[in-house]
Amino acid sequence: MNLSLLWIPVTLAAAAAQTGRNATQRRLTEQIGTVGATQVRFLYGFPFALLALAIVTLITSETVPGPNAAFFAYILAGAVAQILATALMLSAMRERAFSIVTAYTKTEPVQVALFGLVLLGDRLTPATALAIVIATLGVVVMSVKPGTSLTSGGVRPVLFGIASGAFFALAAIGFRGAILSLPDGSSLMRATTTLVWGLGLQTGILLVWLGLFDRKALIASFGAWRPSLGAGFLGALASQFWFLGFALTTAANVRTLALVEVLMAQAVSHHFLAQATTRREILGMGLIVGGVALLLLSQE
């Protein structure tokens, strides 16, 4: 197997795990609220990240790489950016439909490509850039339903949605930068080490925030520990694969291929919720598949 293409199955595994985590978190939202359900991915995912690092260390006999100043800067930026992205996304969803906000936030691959070029020097071929645009356009087509408009809800949700995508993009760049800044270790070891630091920082930040401003949600998340364990496990599993993907290739490649998550979510809705697929959604899915196919064909 060509190891340079290992990021492809790794990213597909991450998208599948994230689809499962999203479904679990959706059920938790009904029990403990949006903020409480959001933070369980970090609080209950962190122990699984520590377990993963212990297993990787045991299997590979590698030493856990020590962090440096660049690593701290990147991992802190990535952790905070991901929290801000989630908060902005939830704020946008309060004012606009989920599908419309998805169209805003899924501009992330385009923004990842731009930030990756500026901050990390990750260059793209013309074919890869075209693939990113086509796949992103497919998400927009799927998300905008007949009779709706991307701008009909006013300026605030537009700005919040696009800013959310920008912070998700910065989070991806921050995590990839942290992985690349570690001096030693295999891709797996560096990715897992970064995962532990990232989830640890996010857990600490959110515990302090909820303790100060939303103790009710914090207490509720502890009370719902059994279903939260499932969300935490799937979240940590997805992040493990995302980070390994970031260690193997550019964040733009990973986040573009990750758009297949939209297709997975559509399949889940069709199967479990008996929702029919419209012609517009079929067109959007075709664009996503076409963009992803071009992305894969453009890889050397």
Q: Which two tokens stand for residue 226?
A: 């059994």
CA 234 from chain center: how many Å?
Answer: 12
pLDDT at position 116: 93
DSSP result, 119-155:
II-----HHHHHHHHHHHHHHHHHHS-TT--SSTT-H
pLDDT at position 264: 74
pLDDT at position 276: 63
**Residue that has been written with the tokens 């020097």 in this structure:** 121
pLDDT at position 167: 93
> Taking CA 25 as the corner, what is the angle to CA 151 and CA 105, rounded to the nearest 5 degrees?
25
| Domains in the chain, number | 1
pLDDT at position 150: 55
pLDDT at position 98: 58
Q: Which two tokens stand for residue 71?
A: 């690593």
Neighbouring residues of 293: CB distance < 8 A, sequence distance ≥ 6? none
Q: Answer whether 0.85 is exceeded by the pTM.
A: yes
Three-state secondary structure of 71-94: HHHHHHHHHHHHHHHHHHHHHHHH
pLDDT at position 71: 97
d(CA 216, CA 199): 22
**Residue that has been written with the tokens 């800013």 in this structure:** 163
The range of the structural domain enclosing residue 100 comes to: 3-297
- The residue among 238, 66, 70 whose CA lies nearest residue 78 is 70
DSSP assigned state of 1: -
Mean pLDDT by groups of 10 residues along the chain of 300 residues: 78 88 74 76 93 96 94 96 83 63 78 91 90 88 66 69 89 96 94 97 92 87 86 92 95 90 70 65 86 84
